Amino acid sequence: MATTRRSLFLLRNLIAGKTQTRTVTYMPRPGDGAPRPVTLIPGDGIGPLVTNAVEQVMEAMHAPVYFEKYDVHGDMKRVPQEVLDSIKKNKVCLKGGLRTPMGGGVSSLNMQLRKELDLYASLVNCCNLPGLPTRHEMVDIVVIRENTEGEYSGLEHEVVPGVVESLKVITKFCSERIAKYAFEYAYLNNRKKVTAVHKANIMKLADGLFLESCREVATKYPSIKYNEIIVDNCCMQLVSKPEQFDVMVTPNLYGNLVANTAAGIAGGTGVMPGGNVGAEYAVFEQGASAGNVGKEKIVEQRTANPVALLLSSAMMLRHLQFPSFADRLESAVKRVISEGQYRTKDLGGQSSTQEVVDAVIAKLD
C-alpha cells in the first residue's frame, strides 16, 4: 500500500508538469531504460505536422520511447479496435486533434475514446510562459474538467418536429471522483486553492449535486481552501483578475469554456499542454480543444504551433517516469520561446513548424 502511494505520488506529481530542481537523485528500477511503446495517433489537420515534430524531437533526445502509429480520422464511425487494443496494452497515448464533423450524425471520436478508456479527468495547465507577451500577468491556472458525462452525454431526440431535447446527466459517482482527483492534484502539487465552477442558481438539482460532492470532498482536505463561483461571474473574473484562480474543477461544458478562456489569456491554445487521464490510461494532447485541428491555410503553409504538443509530451515523459528527459525537453522549449526568435504565427512570429522544431533540437543539451 505504501509503495503504491509513493508511486502514485510520483505519478501525479509528474503529471503536473512542474519543473523542480531535484535534490534527491532518481534511482531507477532495473530494466527501466528499455524503450517504452507509446501509441501515436496523428489525427487530422495540423495533427500529423505537430506529432511529426514530437517524433523528431524524441529521436534527437534519444528518449527511451518508441511510437506505434495508427491512422484515425475524424470521419470514421468508430475508433478502430486495434487502436483501442494498442492503447490498452501501452497505457499511454499521444494524439493530435481529431476533426468532428458538424451535425453529421457521427458522434465525436474524441468523446468515444474518452468514454471507452474511462478517461474521466481532463487537465489543462495554463500558465504564463516567460518571454511571451500577453495581456494578463501572473496566470497560473489548472483547469480540471469532468470528461465523461454532463452536457456531452449525446442523448438527444426530437420530441415533435421543431422541438429538440438534449439531456444533461450528472451523477454522484462521477462528480465525486472528479472532485477527489482535483483535490488530490492540488494536494500533491502544492496548490493552495480549489474553485468549483457551476450554475447552481439556475440548474439547482444538476449542478447542486456536483457542488454537494465537491463540498464533501473538501472537508477531507482542510489545508486546501475551497470556494465556489458561478460560471458567468467566473468568466468575467478570468478576464479581469485571473490571478485569483488556482485549481478549478468543473463539469463538462463549463470546463470546455473555462479551459479555452484560460488558455487564451495565458498565451493561446497553441502553447498550453494538457491531457486526459483515467485510472488506468492516459492520453496526452494539446491542452485546450480550440484550434486542435487547425485551418487548411495553416496545414498548407506548415505553420502550426508544435509547442503545446511538445510540452504535453514532456508531461507524458514524466508520466512514464523519465523525469530528466522531460526536464530537458521543457527547458529547451521554454528557452526557444523566451528568446523569441522562432515563433509561429499565432504567437506573433513568422517561423514555420520545422524551424521551431530545429531550434528546440538545437537547444537540447
Partner 1 sequence: MATHILRRQVSQILSHASPNSNPTSYFSLARPFSSATDTIRATLFPGDGIGPEIAESVKQVFRTAEVPIEWEEHYVGDQVDPRTQSFLTWESLESVRRNRVGLKGPMATPIGKGHRSLNLTLRKELNLYANVRPCYSLPGYKTRYDDVNLITIRENTEGEYSGLEHQVVRGVVESLKIITRQASLRVAEYAFHYAKTHGRERVSAIHKANIMQKTDGLFLKCCREVAEKYPEITYEEVVIDNCCMMLVKNPALFDVLVMPNLYGDIISDLCAGLIGGLGLTPSCNIGEGGIALAEAVHGSAPDIAGKNMANPTALLLSSVSMLRHLNLHDKADRIQEAILSTIAEGKYRTADLGGTSTTTDFTKAICDHL
Burial of residue 141 (number of CB atoms within 10 Å: 0-12, 13-18, 19+): buried
Cβ proximity to partner 1: between 5 and 157 the closer is: 157
* Minimum distance from residue 336 beta carbon to partner 1 (Å): 21
Cβ proximity to partner 1: between 165 and 300 the closer is: 165
Contact 98, 43 (CB under 8 A): yes
Cβ proximity to partner 1: between 166 and 324 the closer is: 166
* Minimum distance from residue 345 beta carbon to partner 1 (Å): 13
* Minimum distance from residue 193 beta carbon to partner 1 (Å): 20
Cβ proximity to partner 1: between 88 and 136 the closer is: 136
For residue 75 the three cell numbers come to 470521419
Cβ proximity to partner 1: between 62 and 135 the closer is: 135
* Minimum distance from residue 103 beta carbon to partner 1 (Å): 4
Cβ proximity to partner 1: between 165 and 365 the closer is: 165
Give dist(CA 304, CA 301) in Å, integer.
Answer: 8
Cβ proximity to partner 1: between 259 and 332 the closer is: 259
- Number of neighbouring beta carbons within 10 Å of residue 351: 19
* Minimum distance from residue 102 beta carbon to partner 1 (Å): 5
* Minimum distance from residue 147 beta carbon to partner 1 (Å): 12
Q: Quote the Cα angle for 82-146-129, to 5°.
A: 95
Contact 294, 304 (CB under 8 A): yes
Long-range contacts of range 77-80, CB-CB < 8 Å, 24 or more positions apart? 77/106, 78/109, 78/112, 79/109, 79/112, 79/113, 79/116
For residue 311 the three cell numbers come to 510540452
Collapse the DSSP code of 67 into the 3-class scheme (helix H, G, I; strand E, B; otherwise coil) and give the result.
Answer: strand
For residue 292 the three cell numbers come to 486542435
* Minimum distance from residue 206 beta carbon to partner 1 (Å): 4
Collapse the DSSP code of 142 into the 3-class scheme (helix H, G, I; strand E, B; otherwise coil) and give the result.
Answer: strand
Cβ proximity to partner 1: between 100 and 125 the closer is: 100
Q: Which residues contribute to the site for partner 1 (CB under 8 A)?
A: 100-105, 108, 111, 135-136, 151-152, 154, 156-173, 199, 202-206, 208-209, 231-233, 235-240, 253-254, 256-257, 259-261, 263-265, 268-269, 288-291
Cβ proximity to partner 1: between 261 and 305 the closer is: 261
* Minimum distance from residue 265 beta carbon to partner 1 (Å): 5
* Minimum distance from residue 115 beta carbon to partner 1 (Å): 13
Interacting residues of 232 by C-beta distance below 8 A, sequence separation 6+: 199
Cβ proximity to partner 1: between 38 and 109 the closer is: 109
* Minimum distance from residue 188 beta carbon to partner 1 (Å): 27
SS3 assignment for 178-194 = HHHHHHHHHHHCCCCEE
Which ranges of 244-342 does DSSP label H, i.e. alpha helix? 252-266, 296-301, 307-319, 323-339
Burial of residue 355 (number of CB atoms within 10 Å: 0-12, 13-18, 19+): middle
Contact 266, 139 (CB under 8 A): yes
Contact 271, 309 (CB under 8 A): no
